[in-house]
Amino acid sequence: MKNFTYCNPTRLVFGRGAIARLARLIPEGRRIMITFGGGSVQRNGVYDQVAAALAGREWVEFWGIGPNPTVETVREAVALGREHGVDFLLAVGGGSVIDATKLIAAALCGDVDPWEIVLAGRAGATVSMGTVLTIAATGSEMNNGAVISREETREKRAFHGAYPVFSVLDPEVTRSLPRCQIACGLADTFVHVLEQYLTGAGQSRLMDRWAEGILHSVREVAPAVLGEERDYDALADYMLAATLALNDMIAMGVEQDWATHMIGHELTALCGLTHGATLAIVACGTMRVLRGQKRAKLLQYGERIWGIAEGGDEERIDRTIEATEAFFRSLGLSTRLAEEGIGEETIAEVECRFDAEGVRYGEAANVDGAMARRILEACQ
């Protein structure tokens, strides 16, 4: 196991009725701005719960943060925040709203354009923020990462901002989500774990077992949370699994990959495909192309998650990749680029962008433009 430093300051407030505790979580006297996506929180009752919890407090609302949040929208929110002297942010939504709010929090502390903060990769001082999570997927409610798009250049980039000081998670609010959103959230959660787990073998027994526990849990609850009658306990396990998949808990002292995510971000930026949907396509392509360097861990993953222990090594790896692809298909997601109408033009552009940036992703730092092309070609 490698040396590491771990600190996660986010306070989780979890369970039925947890939104009612907001007034005790936000200090008195703060000038609050609440950020929202579309109107779903008004239809499912979350808005009313937030308003009731903050009765007697004053706040300003910013609406319209969409999927794959853009810096153009963030600029509008920053202007509103400055106008009202905001010193506390409350993000009410899924990962997109939370990611955008992390950038708003950073931009409110200076006069630098928000995109410059994204390009720098890390924020300095930030306004304090909390979250009310409505969609389980990205883990943004308990980490300091965020991903922001820029419409005019069709770019999507990651940066590190502040950890939320608290996050409120009530599994009940996910009950009304469309099936496709939950499916993409399940895929996002599953691949978050694979990015930290499917690297080199023998690094940490403990991290392996924690990661495998999340993978097993996601597999087991998927049918229940995608069905018509959504069991509360299954929704709770799903929501917490998504948080634990990316709060740095399973990354302590081990190598990480993230090539699948970075390729997926480019597909979203270029084609508009939902993030979780891109991961369901790219993850198996990454396994196919990098099966040599991931060989030992693929065998372990196949045996412990899919029960594949018989046959030769190459056969077992083939069956493991097939099982993973079948899981994504069971969620109703595409697993091939052609199914989404993505072809050579996009592959060439992803390769070009990787080369222009000079990036090398993956635990072996070998996923450059040429390797990204090979991975995408393996997804055709």
Percent of the chain with pLDDT over 90: 98
Arithmetic mean of pLDDT, 108-114: 94
Residue boundaries of the structural domains of the chain: 11-173, 178-377
Q: What is the model's pLDDT at position 336?
A: 98
Question: How do residues 270-282 score in pLDDT, each as one tens digit?
Answer: 999 999 999 999 9
Three-state helix/strand/coil letters over 52-63: HHCCCCCEEEEC
Question: How do residues 81-107 score in pLDDT, each as one tens digit?
Answer: 999 999 999 999 999 999 999 999 999
Q: What is the model's pLDDT at position 229?
A: 86
Q: Tokens representing 154?
A: 């069709």
* Residue 254 pLDDT > 90: yes
Per-residue confidence band for 240, with pLDDT thresholds at 50, 70 and 90 = very high
Q: Tokens representing 66?
A: 């969409």
Q: Which residues pair with 147 in a beta bridge?
A: 158
**Cβ-contact 107, 78 below 8 angstroms:** yes
Q: Tokens representing 268?
A: 């979203």
Q: Which of 66, 63, 98, 58 is nearest to 80 (CA)?
A: 63
Q: What is the model's pLDDT at position 291?
A: 98
Q: Tokens representing 82?
A: 């400055």
Three-state helix/strand/coil letters over 311-334: CCHHHHHHHHHHHHHHHHHHCCCC
pTM for the model: 0.96
Q: What is the model's pLDDT at position 39?
A: 86
Averaged confidence pLDDT in the chain: 97
Return the CATH number of 178-377, one of 2.40.160.20, 1.20.1090.10, 3.40.190.10, 3.40.50.300.
Answer: 1.20.1090.10
Return the CATH number of 11-173, one of 3.30.565.10, 3.40.50.1970, 3.40.50.150, 3.30.1490.20.
Answer: 3.40.50.1970
* Residue 228 pLDDT > 90: no
**Cβ-contact 350, 376 below 8 angstroms:** yes
Arithmetic mean of pLDDT, 27-49: 95
Per-residue confidence band for 16, with pLDDT thresholds at 50, 70 and 90 = very high
d(CA 322, CA 228): 27
Q: Which residues pair with 150 in a beta bridge?
A: 155
